[in-house]
Amino acid sequence: MIETAIAKPVTDRDLAARLEALKVLVIDDEHYMRKVVRTLLISIGVRHISEAADGIAGLEAIRTTAPHLVIVDWEMPGLDGCGFVRLVRSPQTFPYPDVPIIMLTGHGERSRVIEAVKIGVNEFLLKPVSSKALLDRIKAVVLHPRPVIQHGNYYGPAPRKLADMPVGDGGYNELVLLS
């Protein structure tokens, strides 16, 4: 059994049912990578998977399919993953700004992780992707959802560890990952 944040046990059967009902959108410009992620999602029990080949198509897919989770690649031509997340996390202009987002990338530098947190990504997943790593990130989003907050210009999930650090623009504070 898996324990949730409110200490209610989640059985393997409960998790399987949640995964089976989960609607996931995979956005990646590489067809092969979308196929890999789709195969991994199916292997862990996800049955409702849609795909988009770029950020613009991903925005439209969110509007039409209302997924429970988005997995987006960092590097794509045109609208990249960061630009995509910034547009989604705009509650004044985008209809589904609270959708959980997992950022997928081949770059694991600390600066990338910090940038992903600053723009409102829920989880960060490094390529090459394993089914265990993917399942762990999905469980974090599904079983331990973090509240969505607005903090200055930031809109997204409350980061796990925050610090208010002044930036040289006269008092604006930004959220910074500490670990």
pLDDT means over runs of 10, the chain (179 residues): 54 94 98 97 98 98 98 96 97 96 92 92 94 96 93 88 40 36
What three-state secondary structure class fits 121? coil
Q: What is the third-level CATH fold of 2-175?
A: Rossmann fold (3.40.50)
Tally the residues of the chain.
179
pLDDT recorded at residue 172: 29
pLDDT recorded at residue 8: 65
Rg (CA), the chain: 16
8 Å CB contact between 46 and 26 = no
* List of E strands, 4-98: 9-10, 23-27, 48-52, 69-73
8 Å CB contact between 26 and 52 = yes
d(C-alpha 74, C-alpha 157), whole Å: 18
pLDDT recorded at residue 159: 76
